[in-house]
Structure 1
Amino acid sequence: MKKLFLGFTFFLISIACLAAPTPDIGAVETEASRQLTDIAAQEPTDVILPDLPTLEPPAVGAPTRMATATFDMLPSPMNFMVATLPSSTPKPTATSTPDPNIIDQQVSYTVSGDAAVVEITFTNRDGNIEKDLFSLPFEQTNTFKQGTTVTLSVKIISESGTVTSQIKSADKVLCQKDATGKDQTAACTDVVVE
């Protein structure tokens, strides 16, 4: 019985909804249309646009470019924080005093023999290695500090011949080498000045 009562109530509500008058949609549409027509019939409002840069019309066949506007960027204030770094006081360094026992020595390079052309490589007075072609005899004297390492190397360039290379310091022969034949070398390398 309860189900029958609920079904009957539902039926009555449905009929009441169907019988209720519906609003006039046409009247709403008519009013909206009238308002839009009135707005369109009013005098248009002037709109002021900013001046834009324009370009001259291009020549016939020339490529075209769009006008562009540039805007200056205003610098914005920038804040910086500077951190202080701890200062360090340089430590005093010991000054080097020349060893009174180290003295300048004269070093003589001597090359003798019968080879027509030789290539001589030697340590020059600046401590650099120098190399060039020479004819014999060859002799050169340079001044070096005692304990300096020097080199004298002689390569026979001509087709034949003999050479003798010699390094002397204070009339003492520190090194002497001999060579015979093309491309042979008489080398006194890494000789320490006494």
Structure 2
Amino acid sequence: VEFPLFGGSENEDAEEWVQRFLDAYTTNALVDDNVNRFRIAKECLAGTAIDWLRTEGVNIDNLGAENNDTSLDRRIVSKYASDEIKERWQDELENIKQGDRENVTAYVIRFRSMVKKAGGDAAVPVESQKRIFIKGVYATKPANLNEAIIVARNQETGMKALAARFSGEEKDMEEILKEMQISIRK
């Protein structure tokens, strides 16, 4: 398995890089040794991250001794996932929107990734996550009132069908279509 690269750009998640690096290290069945992990991790750094290590990381000599100032994983996360950077990611999260051609599954994956980068449940309460997610989901924009009413009725029908499915009162498709036709005529 290839080891991930980390360049230190503001769009990269240092915590995620550390986890992906450790996963690759484990998958490759290498010796469980913090110094060996560090030796390999140094080769995975690029851009500002390698410059930072060369200038400020003089006393870093391992990867994995998490509570130790000489450990790359601890130091790189404190450098590249600082509170200031997480606040910037929280701002991005607040403005996340589902793309015009993005399906819901892709949006969910991107949303969850952004929540994690922004600090997870500890930094972004679950209720806020729900509000942000709903605000960002692409919704059709009806051209007129009649279309808006049809969209609202379709959503209502879908919610009723979903509720019926979980309550054991599931209707067949023919019944649902009849109800929709009746509600559209109203």
Instruction: Identify the structure with the greater helix proportion.
Output: 2
Structure in which a larger fraction of residues adopt strand? 1
- Point out the structure with max Rg over C-alpha: 1
